[in-house]
Amino acid sequence: MAATLQKAPLPGRRAPRLAEAWPHKHKHKHKHKHEHGHDARRARRVIRRATDYRGFAPALDLALATFGWGWHIEAGLAALRLVLRGTFDRHPDLQIVLGHWGEMLLFALDRIDGLSSAAPHLDRRVADYFATNIHIATSGMLTPRLLRHALAYTSVDRILLSGDHPFRRFDAATLTDFLRTLPDPGDRRKIAHANAESLYGLEPLPAGTAARTTTGLQEDA
């Protein structure tokens, strides 16, 4: 069985075996047939993930599997599976936050919405859940064109300014320059802090007072 579950090894690398990917399952030889099938499917997923990001220098393997690509694809897929499982139909008040401008999902949302025709069990179209249950965080990627793209697919009320500690840090001037790409001061306040206050139940800045936020913008709270 192990041989049928191996992927072809990448140059200079040995493909992981089933016993390595799922070692504790090989301690028991007498398993129910259904359990064997379930274990085999899980083992294939482990092996695929172990090899998809390998084949380069160790540092590049790690970067590809994490901040360069893997983190975002895996997080986006997990969120999409929540939608397709009908999680938000069963729990309509549930809210989640996706970092890095939506972990690739916003950029393919037109295409992803095509899944709606294959998911008749959902109450709404796939893209609709991004307007009611999913928030988008910047995660240190302060690029105006990403902001413009996000606003084309979701509302300003669902975008959160966020850092990416410990990977990236920004000074007040950088944050201010980013927020000033929004012409409306009210939209700046929402993204800078008001959206997070509402979502997380944080105490808002005192009403009617002038406050200097962490963005360095002077504003009326």
Domain ranges of the chain: 2-65, 71-220
Q: How far is CA 88 from CA 39, 85, 115, 127, in A?
A: 29, 8, 16, 12
- Give residue 165's pLDDT: 83
- Give residue 36's pLDDT: 63
SS3 at position 131: helix
CA atoms within 13 A on the CB side of 58: 0
User: Between vectors from CA 135 to CA 133 and to CA 48, what angle results, nearest 5°?
Assistant: 90
Pair type for strands 159-160 and 134-137: parallel
Superfamily holding 71-220: Metal-dependent hydrolases (3.20.20.140)
Q: Give the residues across from 97 on adjacent strands.
A: 135
Question: Considering 89, 164, 177, 187, which one is annotated as catalytic?
Answer: 164
Torsion angles phi and psi, residue 211, rounded to 5:
-135, 140
- Give residue 22's pLDDT: 43
88, 94 Cβ separation under 8 angstroms: yes
- Give residue 110's pLDDT: 96
pTM over 0.75: no
Query: Alpha-carbon distance 150 to 156, whole Å?
Result: 9
Q: How far is CA 214 from CA 21, 101, 193, in A?
A: 46, 20, 9
Peptide bond into 58 cis (omega under 30): no
- Give residue 210's pLDDT: 37
For the chain, 221 residues long, the average pLDDT of each consecutive 10-residue run is 39 45 48 62 63 88 91 95 98 97 96 98 98 96 95 96 87 92 95 96 71 48 37
Torsion angles phi and psi, residue 188, rounded to 5:
-60, -45
Active site residue 164: yes
20-29 confidence digits (pLDDT tens):
444 454 455 5
Query: Alpha-carbon distance 177 to 161, whole Å?
Result: 13
Scanning 53-180, the segments in alpha helix (DSSP H) are 58-65, 70-84, 87-90, 100-103, 109-112, 144-153, 172-179
Q: Which of 221, 188, 179, 218 is nearest to 204 (CA)?
A: 221
Query: Alpha-carbon distance 10 to 17, whole Å?
Result: 14
